[in-house]
Amino acid sequence: MTLYITGAGVSKESGIPTFRGEEGYWTIGSKNYTPESMATRAMYTAHPDEFLSWYYKRFIAYRDVEPNSVHEFLADKNLITQNIDGLDAKAGNKHYIPIHGRVDMMARFAPMESSFAIYPAPWDAVDQSNLIPSLFDVFNISDGVPVLHESYKPFVLLFDEYYTEEFRFNEAIERMRSAKRMVFMGTSFSVGITAIALEIARDNRIPIEIVDPNPIQVMHANAIYHRMKACDYVKKIC
């Protein structure tokens, strides 16, 4: 079975900026902090107002965005995505793994070594005219300080966190090991899960394909490069 692994380039056609482009979330950050410091557990605990405001803006940016032809193509495919936008769910894929979480969900704030429950995030209940107090109310933060096992945080994997079973990590590894082919679409190979997938593909001699207008060269003896956008690749093979 083919395993598809997607990154931010897939959602660009829907109008969501990639992370590292000129208008990307990792580029624009916030007024006071870089994105690398913003998307951290440390920022959430020290400055939950800045942290939640940033993710609220991302939710608003994603909320009304519709899936594109690539999401529709992947709706019935074996899929792991790095994207937190939830567009694969909107397209109808009921079994995909959002390995970095989903911004439309939230989790109980707990130590990383602990399991935690996941719920729909009530972003729509936030009062924009009274933003910070409303965010604190929605995420159950009293006196401006998140409390373990009481407060909530967006269900997204942060820079200072690691893959756990809540992110379905072992299931993702099993899908990689059982794949007959891996197709990487719209990813810069700059995050951990792609390095893990490449290592498994090399160790198990699984052929890979990379779909990207400007793909990076990877260390793999059986790699095919499709120098095109994911939407053009889908048109080509359909």
Q: What type of residue is 103?
A: V
Q: Does domain 2-237 correspond to CATH entry 4.10.520.10? A: no
What pLDDT is recorded for position 127? Answer: 97
Query: Which of 95, 100, 149, 220 is an active site residue?
Result: 100
**Is 226 among the catalytic positions?**
no
What pLDDT is recorded for position 188? Answer: 84
Instruction: Determine the 3-state secondary structure of 103 from DSSP.
Output: strand
pLDDT tens-place string over residues 112-159: 888 888 999 999 999 999 999 999 999 999 999 999 999 999 999 999
Q: What separation, in Å, do the N-terminal and C-terminal C-alpha atoms of the chain show?
A: 17
Q: Quick one: tokens of 183?
A: 């197709």
CA distance 178 to 191: 21
CA distance 225 to 210: 5
List Cβ neighbours of 129 (8 Å cut-off, separation of 6 or more).
Answer: none
What pLDDT is recorded for position 139? Answer: 97
Residue 38 sits at the vertex; the CA angle it makes with 34 and 39, to the nearest 5 degrees, is 125
Q: What type of residue is 137?
A: D
List the chain residues with pLDDT less than 50: 20-29
What pLDDT is recorded for position 61? Answer: 84
